[in-house]
Structure 1
Amino acid sequence: MEEQMNRKNVFITGSSGGIGTAAIEKLVAQGYRVFAGVRNPEKIKRLSEKLAPAVIPVKIDVTDSASVASAVHDVNEVVKEEGLTGLINNAGYILQGPLELLSIEEIKEQFEVNVFGQIRAVQAFLPMIRKAEGRIINIGAVTGKTAMPYIGALSASKQVVEALTDALRIELKPWRIQVVLIEPAAMETSIFDKAKSASDAALQSVPQDKKALYEKVLSLVDASMANQVLNAPGIVADSIYHALSVEHPHTRYAVGRGARLAVTLGRLPDRLRDQILIRALGLHKYFASER
């Protein structure tokens, strides 16, 4: 009975992506039972079968309150009085493109997944987290510290996640629930390919004269991004495990090559930061020619 009560249960949203998969493998190896939240359980069927019974797929769409409530019910039926050792808010996606060209509906969807999805999960799973004095791990991004042009909607959503995490860290202190933010740099996952495909599809509906305004700068940004160093998602999984397992976790983890630099840039005077970003993205020559 004591072994059962000390079991470590965690719930991860966005389990089918690169970070989610790496986190599942890491936590199972460390003795956790993982409830893998995913919109389509078929996407992690092979992984869940390989790691059974330590991985339990749970269908969840964080943009749908009824789906979140159903997932809570499914998890609660299994953990009962054990509660949750951790909730890992990992679901998210990248919306890219100049803010002028993005529709309001697309921007709303970015916030619906990256922001409101995290809030829904926190509110719904908190009773189980209280039972185990568990922890909440929010996956943000370094763009939450340094907003990047042409992914302004994403940057804005991640800055909101920073604020929510800071507020929750104090609000949940009476129940000894620690709230941690992980800020990854660019990771070697399929999320960028999906973002590019989604952006190309969305911009098809934009009038050609508007798209033409940004064609040159976007080609320069694409070339710059193609040369960026991508990090293995396993380093995020290591930070997630550290945040769950140590007695006093950091409040923030800047993870991956370039992460600390991005955080530092966020502390610089605005115009200096702008100039550094413009040069890093290869835009300085173009901007100079337009004067």
Structure 2
Amino acid sequence: MTVVITGASSGIGKETAMAFLKNGDKVYCLSRRPCDLNGIINIKCDITDENQVKSAFEEIETIDLLINNAGFGISGAVEYTELSEMKSQFELNFFAQICVTQCALQKLKQSKGKVIFVSSAASVFSIPFQSFYSATKASIESLTAALRNELKMFGVQVGCVRLGDIKTGFTAAREKSFKGDEAYNGMISRSVSVMEKDETNGMPPSAVAKTIMKISSKKNLPLVTTVGAQYKFLCFLSKILPSGIVNKLVGSIYMPKK
């Protein structure tokens, strides 16, 4: 099987690439920085650049599985976030994912392959002061559902993995803004601290790689696969509790008082 993974130079992407390599699969990494795993085929590519993405896929003959993993997060108050920062968040986490998928589709149709997007529990529980990251993941899940129906007639299956807190370099790479923290009575910095503490105590990326390996081998790819028992339970609660109560619970967790 031929697997293409975006952002496989570190974290979840690298762990997933390692799992597929151990399985004997041919693995391509599309990233600005090369992955140092033996046997992986690196194609240097900034996936926010459409021309680079098109050129990258010209180097790949066949694709059985596309894993849209690349992404990053920003934090800060909506009130003080610059439009350029919002656009940058959506550019990589949403629009670049679409571009990559579009460029892979002809080969995926030929192989009747699969597409897996990496989503987040933030798509269900919109996190205060991480609003734009949450919005990109909600957008990814909407895209996944629509694309799944669009591509069904071609035999291409589409799904996503919904992640909770994972211990990776994602935490250190987050672009944080504390502008307006004083006006918000220190709530911005406290909220981000809660998130970062949860992430540093989160699941290892290997747990995500294991899940991706498992669902990709299924005859019928699930639409959404939530990783981790506690997140499965929380997502279940979000379906049975009134949305207002769920939102208050999220606020109580991520907006701690002094």
TM norm structure 1: 0.83
Distance across 1 between alignment mates of 2:143 and 2:91 = 14
Matched, 1:107 2:100: no
Counterparts of 1:138-177 in structure 2 under 5 Å?
A: 138-177=117-156
Q: 2:191 is matched with which residue: 217, 221, 227?
A: 221
Match of 1:38 among 25, 31, 36: 31
Shift of 1:32: 0.9
Shift of 1:277: 1.5
Q: Indicate the residue corresponding to 1:60 in structure 2.
A: 45
TM-score w.r.t. structure 2 length?
A: 0.93
What is the distance in 1 between the residues matched to 2:224 and 2:197? 27
| Rg (Cα) greater in structure | 1
1:79-90 paired onto structure 2 within 5 Å: 79=61, 83-90=62-69
CA distance in 2, matches of 1:226, 1:35: 30
Higher helix residue share: 1
Runs of 4+ in 1 over 6 A off after TM superposition: none
Q: 1:253 aligns with which of 209, 220, 225?
A: 225
Q: Which amino acid aligns with 2:120?
A: A
1:235 aligns with 2:207: yes
Matched residue count:
255
Query: Does the 8 A contact of 1:143 with 1:158 survive in 2?
Result: yes
Q: Which amino acid aligns with 2:176?
A: S
After superposition, the C-alpha distances for 1:48-80 in whole angstroms (9 at most, x for unaligned) are: xxx22xx100111111100101101111xxx3x
CA RMSD, 1 decimal: 1.7
What runs of 5+ residues in structure 1 fail to find an aligned partner?
A: 1-7, 287-291
C-alpha distance 126-151 of structure 1, shift in aligned 2 (>3 A): same
1:269 CA drift (Å): 1.7
Match in the other structure for 1:280: 253
Contact 1:142/1:185, CA 8 A, preserved across alignment? yes
CA distance in 1, matches of 2:79, 2:11: 30
Name the structure 2 match of 1:98: 77
Deviates most, 213-222 or 55-64: 213-222
Deviation at 1:223, TM superposition (A): 4.1
- 1:3 maps to none
Distance 1:243 1:158 in 2: 20
Deviation digits for residues 160-217 of structure 1 (CA, Å, limit 9, x no counterpart): 001100001110001111101111111110111111xx214xx5xx5xxx34212521
Match of 2:108 in 1: 129
CA distance in 2 between counterparts of 1:114 and 1:31 reads 29
Matched residue, 2:176 = 199
Structure 2 alignment gaps of length 5 or more: none
Contact 1:242 1:249 in 2 (8 A): no
